């Protein structure tokens, strides 16, 4: 029997899941059966956290209990804050996140996986992610590190730590929805990396470090930042045609934020981020400039590549939304990570607790069959 290799593990199934269902042909995304559009329209990020970790949408009492648990863990130790503060201002933001979660992992000695305790640990790490990401932003912006002043929601608390001022309710709402949109997406590269690591029965924080390392690459989490940089490079809507012809059609450069391994139609998350971008564009001239560039570029690319099943993905417009919220262009990937910690932890718990087996694939050897060792003085 001749073994077949699936490059990039395309269409290789590594686990069963009750978490996220994607129909790439119809453009459907559901978390535990709930359509992403319904969750964004009616839900909150805290409800989605509860859904992913505990398996159902919470009652009011369960939601309040979750919020109280998270509030106890929002703040991080002064030691961790000091470590982050000593990192260079120009350090890579995801690299800084790796440092933070490595510090948390260093405190986990002989971690034992137990379902009830695992859920508590997951909630703790999701909560701590808020102060970690917010303070990385503050460090890179030259601001002093600080712990959170607790607000009503996860999104509001996060934005207030980042910006040192009250944030408009409309911004809090958009941040909350963005967190929902990036919470999970089945088993992309970062989740797979976290699964491989967790299958060894290491601790959760170490699994997050693995997910972050995979997320750092421009073909995964870095795609939103790269897509936004394209819009900056184009500069003006009048330059879109010439830029597209030169870079994409002539030079065959990758159009960031376009195409997806699973979706063969427009990513449903992209439609929502586009709507938020359009809303911000009505109040912010800079956002409007980037929105107009992105919209025209999407039309050109869709006309050119739709017959191949290549459409805009979630990263195409999300960078514009984050920019509209007030974040610098380097922040889309850390903000992706802030949300995706929920999905990573939900998947690793599901795998370790229900399908426990170390992930150990094979490789097909294609090298020289056998060689005789020759002493170094005779080579």
Q: Which residues are catalytic, by number?
A: 260, 315
φ/ψ (deg, to 5) at 23: -110, 100
Q: What is the 3-state secondary structure (H, E, C) of 4-45?
A: CCCHHHCCCCCCCCCCEEEECCCCEEEECCEEHHHHHHHCCH
Find the helix or strand (DSSP H, E) in which 189 lies. Answer: helix 189-198
Torsion sign over Cα 301, 304, 309, 310: negative
Number of other residues whose CB lies within 10 A of the CB of residue 124: 18
Residues paired with 23 in a beta bridge: 28
In DSSP notation, 332-370 reads HHHHHHHHHHHHHHHHHHHHHHHS-----------S-S-
Location of structure tokens 């934005």 = 159
How far is the C-alpha of 158 from the C-alpha of 135, rounded, in Å?
10
How far is the C-alpha of 248 from the C-alpha of 197, rounded, in Å?
37
Q: Which residues contact 270 (CB under 8 A, 6 or more apart)?
A: 311, 312, 313, 314, 316, 317
Torsion sign over Cα 271, 243, 221, 308: positive
Location of structure tokens 């999701």 = 126
How far is the C-alpha of 44 from the C-alpha of 67, rounded, in Å?
12
Q: Which candidate, 274, 259, 253, 376, places its Cα nearest to that of 319?
A: 274
Long-range contact set of residues 7-15: C-beta below 8 Å, sequence gap at least 24 = 8/261, 9/192, 10/261, 14/187, 14/192, 14/195, 14/359, 15/187, 15/195, 15/347, 15/350, 15/351, 15/355
Whole-angstrom distance between the N-terminal and C-terminal Cα of the chain? 38
């Amino acid at each position: 029997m001749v073994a077949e290799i699936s490059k990039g593990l395309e269409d290789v199934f590594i686990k069963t899941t009750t978490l996220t269902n994607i129909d790439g042909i119809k453009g459907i995304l559901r978390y535990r059966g709930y359509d992403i559009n319904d969750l964004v329209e009616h839900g909150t990020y805290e409800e989605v956290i509860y859904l992913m970790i505990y398996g159902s949408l919470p009652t009011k009492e369960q939601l309040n209990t979750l919020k109280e648990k998270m509030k106890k863990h929002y703040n991080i130790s002064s030691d961790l804050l000091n470590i982050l503060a000593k990192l260079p201002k120009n350090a890579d933001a995801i690299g800084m996140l790796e440092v933070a979660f490595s510090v948390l992992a260093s405190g986990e000695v002989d971690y034992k996986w137990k379902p009830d305790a695992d859920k508590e640990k997951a909630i703790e790490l999701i909560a701590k992610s808020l102060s970690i990401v917010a303070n990385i932003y503050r460090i890179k912006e030259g601001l002093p590190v600080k712990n959170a002043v607790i607000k009503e929601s996860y999104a509001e608390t996060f934005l207030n730590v980042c910006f040192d001022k009250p944030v408009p309710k409309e911004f809090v709402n958009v941040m909350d929805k963005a967190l929902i949109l990036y919470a999970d997406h089945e088993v992309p590269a970062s989740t797979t990396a976290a699964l491989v690591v967790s299958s060894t029965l290491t601790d959760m924080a170490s699994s997050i470090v693995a997910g972050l390392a995979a997320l750092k690459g421009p073909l995964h989490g870095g795609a939103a930042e790269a897509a936004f940089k394209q819009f900056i490079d184009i500069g003006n809507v009048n330059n879109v045609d010439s830029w597209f012809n030169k870079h994409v059609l002539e030079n065959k450069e990758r159009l960031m934020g376009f195409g997806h391994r699973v979706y063969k139609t427009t990513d449903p998350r992209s439609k929502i981020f586009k709507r938020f971008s359009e809303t911000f564009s009505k109040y912010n001239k800079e956002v409007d400039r980037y929105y107009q560039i992105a919209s025209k570029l999407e039309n050109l690319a869709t006309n050119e590549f739709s017959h191949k099943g290549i459409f805009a993905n979630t990263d195409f417009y999300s960078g514009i939304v984050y920019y509209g919220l007030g974040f610098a262009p380097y922040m889309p990937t850390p903000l992706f990570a802030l949300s995706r910690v929920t999905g990573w932890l939900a998947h690793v718990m599901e795998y370790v607790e229900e399908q426990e087996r170390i992930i150990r694939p094979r490789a097909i050897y294609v090298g020289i069959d056998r060689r005789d060792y020759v002493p170094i003085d005779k080579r």
